Amino acid sequence: MIREWVAERGSERWALLLHDRSEHEWAAVDGTGHAIDIYSLGESLAELMRSCASCSFREALTDAILTIAGMRRFDRLIVECSGLVEATMAAAVFNDAIADEEPLAGLARLDQLVTVVDAATVWEGVRSADALGERGMSGGEDDTRVLSELLVEQIEHCSLIALNRSEAIDGNCRERVITLLRYLNPEAEVLLAADRVAGAARILAPRDRAEHGISFQPGWAKLIDGNDSLPESSQEWSTGVFRASRPFHPERLWRCVEEDWPGVLRCKGYFWLASQPDRCFSWEQTAGSRHFEWVGHWWVATPQPEWPTNEAFLRRLKSQWTIEFGDRRQELACIGYGADQETLFARLKRCLLTTDELLLGEEAWRRFADPFERATQEAGSREDETDPE
């Protein structure tokens, strides 16, 4: 389909840069469909979805674009990535070039970042717990992602969503799918790919203010910020943010996250544990996967000379600060379909420290049994075992 669009662009000179995962290469194709050149990645592709994925992807894509720009034969370029490549990696190639004043910024700019969604399968996909390896889609032996995680990530981080095969499902299912997409990514325009001519024109149109990088604020982030651009909640759909200043008891929270969260399609945010009071953790959940990650220290646990000094940061920090706990807080945004959000939030509330536990103080909190710490240590040990010497 993309090749047909490029061939129909009239007098404009278009090039198409294809990422062919099976052949381990990038291939550039001109508007007539003829190959221009082959950009072999060799061993670097094997690293695409591993620890240095961002570095290898950025280097390979940047080199290919600079080479095509140096030909001075084309007005526009489409980059078609493998479905396993995270959209944020593609956007970062251009956004970082602008921020760092790299040569790429003066030769190419990102107009659109498009995710193509199959209307007939996306609803089950975002609820799937199947590992990518089970579907024959793994990016390598270290790629432990599940299908729902990949799909949600690609939907949340794009500027335009092309909904393919929308005519293959009935009106109610189509409306449910479109609502899902708008909850996950309220900023992206949703196009029905059945209107082929209009869809092609919209996808290939230049973006206003394209000299600036594409930024993303998915639905979960808008919920936390109090943005009202999401669709209104209904009998089936629910959205909300669990907020609290008290820390979680690590064992009670662990038991809670191990239980079923029926109807929750997306939950993401930040939390803190009494047993690790200086650390900020992120929580990320789809209907098919859950995981947490230590992302840094809270600002209250960071020496003030190391804080950013810009006014926007200081205003935001002040709005989040409490006398008892500084900027430490629980903020978990949830998007659900058929979910009992009130019951879920009540379960999370019971995981917070009680008043008696709070009075024990931080030294006592640090001695709480902590399954999160054990899981972090075990994951670190597994990574050490697989790292080459």
**pLDDT tens for each residue of 289-345:** 889 999 999 999 999 999 999 999 999 999 999 999 999 999 999 999 999 999 999
Closest CA to 216 of 288, 148, 159, 275: 159
- Same domain membership, residue 258 and residue 135: no
d(CA 295, CA 284): 12
- Same domain membership, residue 167 and residue 33: yes
Q: What is the mean pLDDT of residues 180-197?
A: 84
For residue 264, the domain's CATH number is 3.30.1220.10
Residues spanned by the domain of 82: 2-217
Closest CA to 86 of 111, 108, 54: 54
- Same domain membership, residue 126 and residue 254: no
Question: pLDDT at residue 42 above 50?
Answer: no
- Same domain membership, residue 192 and residue 252: no
Question: pLDDT at residue 215 above 70?
Answer: yes
List, in sequence order, every beta strand (DSSP E) within the chain: 14-20, 25-30, 35-40, 76-80, 114-118, 160-164, 189-192, 237-244, 264-273, 276-286, 290-297, 330-337
Q: Looking only at Cα atoms, what is the longest distance across the chain? A: 74
Selected residue with higher pLDDT from 282 and 168:
282
- Same domain membership, residue 317 and residue 237: yes
Per residue in 257-291, pLDDT tens? 999 999 999 999 999 999 999 999 999 999 888 89
Q: What is the mean pLDDT of residues 134-149?
A: 75
Among 198, 217, 236, residue at a domain's last position:
217
- Same domain membership, residue 207 and residue 266: no
Pair of tokens at residue 241: 């943010």
Q: Which pLDDT band holds residue 361 (cuts at 50, 70, 90)?
A: very high
Q: What is the mean pLDDT of residues 361-386?
A: 80
10 Å Cβ neighbour count for 293? Answer: 11
Q: What is the pLDDT at residue 32? A: 46
For residue 55, the domain's CATH number is 3.40.50.300
Q: What is the pLDDT at residue 302? A: 96
Q: What's the structural domain count of the chain?
A: 2
8-state DSSP, 165 = T
d(CA 7, CA 44): 31
Q: Name 285's Cβ contacts closer than 8 Å, sequence gap at least 6.
A: 261, 264, 266, 267, 268, 291
Q: What is the chain's length?
A: 389
Pair of tokens at residue 378: 């075990």
Q: Which pLDDT band holds residue 212 (cuts at 50, 70, 90)?
A: low
Q: Which pLDDT band holds residue 11 (cuts at 50, 70, 90)?
A: low
State phi, psi for 28 to the nearest 5 degrees.
Answer: -105, 135
Among 172, 197, 217, residue at a domain's last position:
217
Average the pLDDT over each of 33-42, 195-204, 278-287 and give the range with the smallest value.
Answer: 33-42
Q: Which pLDDT band holds residue 248 (cuts at 50, 70, 90)?
A: very high
**Mean pLDDT across the chain, nearest whole number?**
81
State phi, psi for 186 to the nearest 5 degrees.
Answer: -65, -20
- Same domain membership, residue 226 and residue 211: no
Q: What is the mean pLDDT of residues 126-148?
A: 78
Pair of tokens at residue 222: 């808008």
What SS3 class is residue 133?
A: helix
- Same domain membership, residue 67 and residue 191: yes
- Same domain membership, residue 205 and residue 236: no
Q: Which pLDDT band holds residue 70 (cuts at 50, 70, 90)?
A: confident
Closest CA to 250 of 354, 351, 328: 351
- Same domain membership, residue 226 and residue 205: no
Closest CA to 355 of 232, 247, 277, 193: 247
Per residue in 104-133, pLDDT tens? 878 888 888 888 889 999 999 999 888 887
Among 217, 237, 255, residue at a domain's last position:
217
Q: What is the pLDDT at residue 35? A: 41
Question: pLDDT at residue 193 above 50?
Answer: yes
- Same domain membership, residue 275 and residue 159: no
- Same domain membership, residue 278 and residue 165: no
Selected residue with higher pLDDT from 50 and 337:
337
